[in-house]
């Protein structure tokens, strides 16, 4: 499954110019999961992070890693833009419907991660992700390392997941618009995959998703293979 590989490369290119801290989850301790969506009130909040949340799936080899491009949670003192990029290696699923279902299952993981003292709010329609970090959590040592380890554990509860790289970006002047563009393209690819599998019309000239088929490696081949199966 390589539909998102160009977006993975784009994401890594954006962060390549920034200072990075890299953690191996084998040596990290996961943040406690509350098991439910917690509410951190404004008076209990140290600061808020807001930006894009992205999940990108690939069959290429990915080593489990947590990367912070910019400052760790303990180094941040006020509200700031940020981005969270999850790059997930899965088994190479040949069945298109199973591949689509797996992509969706991976995307839904973000709704089921509840790090203690780290309130995540997401808006799937706009790819926005915001975080409130509790004052008490900072005092007891919360870090992106521990939050990232918890996220990796959650992704790996899915049987087909083999490797996970979680990237947190907190550089104040990073190109956050680029991350939103990547998130939007990722969503377009997923919609196109679903369209290719379910459409009864194969008139490319009238399809509003033609540009995605033309751009994404493997999508056009999938389209015409599906067309032959339905003729």
Mean of per-residue pLDDT scores for the chain = 87
Number of domains in the chain: 1
In the numeric block, the tokens 């990108």 are attached to 56
Instruction: In whole angstroms, give the CA distance from residue 93 to residue 162.
Output: 12
Is the residue at 50 inside a domain?
A: yes
- The predicted pLDDT at position 4 comes to 92
Phi, psi of 211 (to 5 degrees): -60, -35
Is the residue at 178 inside a domain?
A: no
Residue 60 to residues 35, 42, 89, 103, 125, Cα–Cα distance (Å): 31, 42, 6, 15, 28
Is the residue at 19 inside a domain?
A: yes
CA 115 to chain centre: 16
- The predicted pLDDT at position 102 comes to 92
Indicate if the pLDDT at residue 87 is higher than 80.
Answer: yes
Instruction: In whole angstroms, give the CA distance from residue 177 to residue 181.
Output: 6
Range of the domain at 110: 5-173
Q: Which of 19, 91, 21 is nearest to 57 (CA)?
A: 91
Residue range 112-134, pLDDT digits in tens: 999 999 999 997 667 899 999 99
Is the residue at 54 inside a domain?
A: yes
- The predicted pLDDT at position 3 comes to 86
Indicate if the pLDDT at residue 195 is higher than 60.
Answer: yes
Q: Give the mean model confidence (pLDDT) for residues 147-170.
A: 97
CATH number for the domain spanning 71: value is 3.30.1650.10
- The predicted pLDDT at position 132 comes to 98
Is the residue at 211 inside a domain?
A: no
- The predicted pLDDT at position 228 comes to 46
Q: Band of the pLDDT at 230, cuts 50, 70, 90?
A: very low
Q: Give the mean model confidence (pLDDT) for residues 209-215.
A: 54
Is the residue at 182 inside a domain?
A: no
Exposed/middle/buried for 65, CB within 10 Å: 0-12, 13-18, 19+? middle
Higher pLDDT, 93 or 30: 30
Residue range 33-57, pLDDT digits in tens: 999 999 999 999 999 999 999 999 9
Instruction: In whole angstroms, give the CA distance from residue 68 to residue 66.
Output: 7
Is the residue at 217 inside a domain?
A: no
Q: Which segments of the chain does DSSP mark as H helices, in order?
A: 5-15, 96-108, 135-139, 144-155, 176-198, 210-215, 219-229
- The predicted pLDDT at position 217 comes to 53
Is the residue at 188 inside a domain?
A: no
């Amino acid at each position: 499954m390589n539909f998102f590989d160009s977006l993975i490369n784009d994401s890594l290119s954006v962060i390549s110019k920034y200072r990075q801290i890299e953690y191996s989850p084998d040596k990290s301790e996961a943040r406690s999961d509350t098991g439910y969506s917690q509410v951190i009130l404004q008076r209990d909040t140290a600061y808020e992070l807001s930006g894009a949340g992205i999940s990108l799936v690939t069959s290429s080899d990915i080593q489990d890693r947590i990367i912070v491009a910019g400052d760790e949670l303990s180094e941040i003192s006020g509200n700031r833009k940020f981005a969270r990029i999850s790059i997930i290696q899965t088994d190479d699923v040949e069945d298109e419907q199973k591949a689509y279902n797996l992509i969706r299952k991976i995307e839904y993981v973000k709704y089921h991660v509840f790090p203690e003292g780290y309130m995540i709010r997401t808006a799937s329609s706009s790819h926005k992700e915001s975080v409130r970090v509790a004052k008490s959590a900072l005092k007891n040592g919360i870090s992106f390392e521990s939050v990232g380890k918890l996220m990796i554990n959650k992704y790996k509860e899915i049987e087909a997941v083999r490797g996970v790289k979680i990237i947190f970006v907190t550089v104040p002047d990073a190109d956050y618009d680029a991350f939103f563009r990547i998130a939007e393209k990722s969503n377009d690819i997923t919609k196109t995959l679903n369209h290719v599998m379910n459409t009864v019309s194969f008139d490319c000239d009238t399809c509003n998703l033609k540009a995605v088929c033309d751009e994404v490696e493997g999508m056009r081949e999938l389209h015409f293979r599906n067309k032959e199966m339905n003729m």
